[in-house]
Structure 1
């Protein structure tokens, strides 16, 4: 599998995993979604919003339309509104990877960090980071969901591949 096909798969997996997390969240009330939790972004809703903010920042940089958002911005306080925004963002990420080509993937991208200075990295590293960042915080969400009484989720990449993308 070449790099472009890999990132296309990761975009589809990412949307699939996000749907599973949101389905699990749908069984919780606002009190559980907003309850203080032991995580970097200290609630389920704050963590969901952080992932969305980061995706908007990274994709904006990749498409040449950078956004300026604080990493702890709560874009959507309610789960229904959040879900619509998450699904729209996942569709944008998938569309971006569908337009991606090997030559573009091999180029560097310069960007301004939200917390530090300016950096230049290969686009493939930035794209890999975007997906890895989501996985990192989905792991935190998974733990918070279990703490809230949700059954553990089977959202590893291998489960996606076995179910959808074999």
Structure 2
């Protein structure tokens, strides 16, 4: 799922990079008011949950620097770095780690203990949910929304997966 997350973000941001800044940030109908706001939100939520499972201690302070990126090309390298960080984390997980408890900083709601497997499942679901919203908003632009559901099956696998070299992320960053 971490590799699918990396691929999906890459494909969607590559498509969004074909939009000019005005189209990327234009007000649209969805949970967040623009493609830019939706994908920027996804990025900062990634940073929050990656920090939580890594027990980095940043908690909600990751949102202190939250911005809405003006163009997909500004967001893409930062999202790539977060995605690759998540792949490295997941590659290092053991079976015992999956049920390990980490503390999530929920601000006024306090410090909440959560299982790593549940946090990861939530993170991947969150990403899919909001990427779907951005994908739908992209349909209202001049850029055709990309196919995002071909990752797991060999039948129609996107050749871009091989170019991303997703199998070697942990070795490159080790």
Query: Shorter-chain TM-score: what band?
Result: 0.7 to 0.9
Superposed CA RMSD: 2.0
Separation of aligned partners in 2, 1:65 and 1:57: 10
Separation of aligned partners in 1, 2:125 and 2:105: 20
Separation of aligned partners in 2, 1:44 and 1:55: 17
Query: What is the aligned residue count?
Result: 154
Is 1:116 matched up with 2:109?
yes
> Structure 1 pair 75/34, CA: closer, same or farther in 2 (3 Å)?
closer
Give structure 2 stretches of 5+ with no counterpart. 163-174
Deviation at 1:125, TM superposition (A): 0.4
The C-alpha deviation readout for 1:32-56, integer Å capped at 9, x for no partner, is: 0010111222111111110010000
Is 1:21 matched up with 2:7?
no
* Residue in 2 that maps onto 1:98: 91
User: What secondary structure sits across from 1:121 in the alignment?
Assistant: strand
Residue 37 of structure 1, aligned match among 14, 17, 28: 28
User: What secondary structure sits across from 2:62 in the alignment?
Assistant: coil
Residue 58 of structure 1, aligned match among 49, 66, 80: 49
* Residue in 1 that maps onto 2:140: 147
User: What secondary structure sits across from 2:148 in the alignment?
Assistant: coil
The C-alpha deviation readout for 1:106-142, integer Å capped at 9, x for no partner, is: 2122212156333222110001101110001001101
Deviation at 1:66, TM superposition (A): 3.3
* Residue in 1 that maps onto 2:71: 78
* Residue in 1 that maps onto 2:62: 69
> Structure 1 pair 46/64, CA: closer, same or farther in 2 (3 Å)?
same
Separation of aligned partners in 1, 2:78 and 2:133: 20
**TM-score, reference length from structure 1:** 0.84
* Residue in 1 that maps onto 2:123: 130
Q: Is the 8 A contact 1:53 1:71 kept in 2?
A: no
Separation of aligned partners in 2, 1:41 and 1:125: 25
